[in-house]
């Protein structure tokens, strides 16, 4: 197969909507540091904003590699795989930025997603390359449902506990790059 596309047309949008998870890949600048790949579930956390712009709600987790890498260089790739139906892999390569709660575009962007306790950022990607490939070797899986463990975990924490967790576990990447929380003076100028 292996095609590139000018934009996310209706056919690609429909296919993406049918996928239950996607993967996010980022890396720090330079030859050192760790490449990061994160699986993202909860299909309701991904949105197509226009033919070349997408966003996802970033939920509190055990690390903040993606946020740290985006702050460092903005490079990001999203990958969707068909685990059922006809085989396909779709990659969205682009430049990402983070929008944090309280920033200028937060309300507008967050309103596109269901309210989730523990939402820590919206990641917005300006897509530069849209390409698919065969996916012939991707195994078939049956979808059994969403896990609600992250929602349960975040629901047991008050605002202070979530903030303390982020300060302890999400303030830097595994390579020591700054991630969360960010003081106003520490935020990138174009984050809104």
Q: What is the pLDDT of residues 153-186, one digit of tens each?
A: 999 999 899 889 988 999 999 999 999 975 444 5
pLDDT in tens, 11-28: 999 999 999 999 999 999
Whether the full predicted model's pTM is greater than 0.85, yes or no, is yes
What is the DSSP annotation of the chain? ---EESS--HHHHHHHHH-S-EEEEE--SSS-S--EEEEE--GGGEEEEETTEEEEEEEP-S--HHHHHHHHT-EEEEEEE-SSSS--EEEEEEEEEEE-TTSTTHHHHHTTS---TTEEEEEEEEEEEEEEE--TTSPP--------HHHHHHHTS-HHHHHHHHHHHSSB-TTS-B-SS--GGGS-TT--
Q: Name the CATH superfamily, with its identifier, for domain 4-136+146-178.
A: Electron Transport, Fmn-binding Protein; Chain A (2.30.110.10)
What are the residue ranges spanned by the domains of the chain?
4-136+146-178
Across 3-7, 36-40, 126-130, 148-152, least confident range = 148-152
């Amino acid at each position: 197969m292996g095609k590139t596309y000018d934009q996310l047309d209706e056919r690609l949008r429909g296919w993406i909507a049918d996928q239950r998870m996607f993967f996010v890949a980022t890396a720090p600048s330079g030859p050192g540091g760790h490449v990061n790949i994160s699986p993202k579930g909860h299909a309701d956390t991904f949105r197509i904003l226009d033919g070349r712009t997408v966003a996802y709600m970033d939920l509190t987790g055990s690390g903040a590699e993606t946020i740290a890498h985006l702050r460092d260089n903005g490079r990001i790739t999203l990958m969707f795989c068909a685990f059922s139906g006809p085989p396909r892999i779709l990659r969205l390569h682009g430049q990402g930025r983070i929008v944090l709660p309280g920033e200028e575009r937060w309300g507008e962007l967050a309103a596109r997603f269901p309210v989730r306790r523990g939402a820590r950022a919206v990641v917005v990607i300006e897509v530069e390359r849209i390409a698919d490939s065969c996916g012939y070797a991707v195994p078939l899986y049956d979808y059994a449902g969403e896990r609600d463990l992250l929602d349960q975990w975040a629901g047991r924490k008050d605002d202070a506990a979530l903030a303390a967790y982020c300060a302890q576990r999400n303030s830097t990447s595994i390579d020591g790059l700054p991630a969360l929380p960010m003081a106003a003076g520490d935020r990138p100028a174009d984050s809104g």
